[in-house]
Amino acid sequence: MTPAMQAIFELLVEYEGRINTHGLSIQQLMARLKELLSSEERYLGDLLLAKKLYHDTLIKLPYRQQVEIIFRHWNQLIEVSRIVYLRLKKSNSPGQVFISVIDSLSVFVAFCSHQQVALDTLNDLMTTHPDARALYANCSASIAARGMTLNTFLLMPLGRVTRYPLLIEKILKECDPDGSLYQDLDAALQLLRALVSEVNRAVTEKENTILLCWANSHVKCPPSLRIDFTSNTRLMPSSFKISKSTDVHLTLYKQPMLLSNLAVLPSSDETVLNVKHVIDLVVTTGSDTVCFRCVSGNACRLWTNQLDQAINLCTIMMSEQQQSQVVDASLGK
């Protein structure tokens, strides 16, 4: 048992009466925590094995560029996993560990969106270069590979990031809902679910891009059109900056959205922030909705919280102003 797990165990024993009231088991909780730590250790070991067995061997061939494409972001995955593993061993709050490294875990988005390119490059390398195929076969047949090919290793990061929320959810079920351990894990679970959604979206967008590239190469168009299916669909006009001292007059054709007339609406997409005009607390229908596409689920939640706070503050200030006017009127001011 690691020192961190020992600390968690002692904390749980202290509150054993309350835990038993909720029908929870300390032994089950410790088993879930051990599963999280041991699975991270195995995952890190597999990453290191793939680098040593396949990368360090194939990189010696005169196909360095292709090998680097296959293992792009691999070193970052190793570093992040090492950080997670070491912090899990030392910390008595797994939730805090994942909250602290959530930004670093974005490497999963970069790698998983590149995963299909890596697999295609590996297949092309094996098909076109017999010497690389022979060396790769030797690596796969070695005892160290444990019967796993490089394709299997390349799929592991996607499997790992999607498993994080499942492991945290298992631990949550064994925790005291009133404890600090539960609160940290619940916050980490929300962040990890948002991360998985971002990974899935990035993978889907990459797959769509690959399909568009395939269609672009198979659809016959006049050369003069120069159609690129993956290009931006909007033309950007010339841009400039203005300040208070700039002698430029601008006409706004869009009515400003005042905080006193705004409402933030829920969205099925974690990266979309929906805002609507409201009149007397009734949301209007039609074309008044403004959708903001955020760079990530975390950014969307940040924008939503800040906008909600601004709207609430505006409501409080307007209410205080109205009360002040009523008082002034009653006093004849």
For the chain, give the percent of residues with pLDDT over 70.
77
Cα–Cα distance, 21 to 172 (Å, whole number)? 16
Beta strand spans in 56-110 (E): none
Q: Which residue's entry shows tokens 């990061």?
A: 157
- How is the chain split into domains, by residue range? 3-218, 259-330
Q: What is the pTM of this model?
A: 0.63
Q: Which of 123, 129, 150 is nearest to 62 (CA)?
A: 129
pLDDT digits (tens, 9 = 90+) for 32-41: 889 999 999 9
Q: Indicate the DSSP class of residue 292.
A: E
Please report the pLDDT score of residue 230 as a whole number: 75
- Which CATH number fits the domain 3-218, given the four candidates 1.20.900.10, 1.20.140.10, 3.90.1170.40, 1.10.10.10? 1.20.900.10
Pseudo-torsion of CA 199, 202, 203, 206, nearest 10°? -170
Please report the pLDDT score of residue 321 as a whole number: 82
Cα–Cα distance, 309 to 28 (Å, whole number)? 40
pLDDT digits (tens, 9 = 90+) for 203-245: 988 888 888 888 777 777 777 767 777 776 545 555 666 666 7
Per-residue pLDDT, averaged over 157-186, amounts to: 90
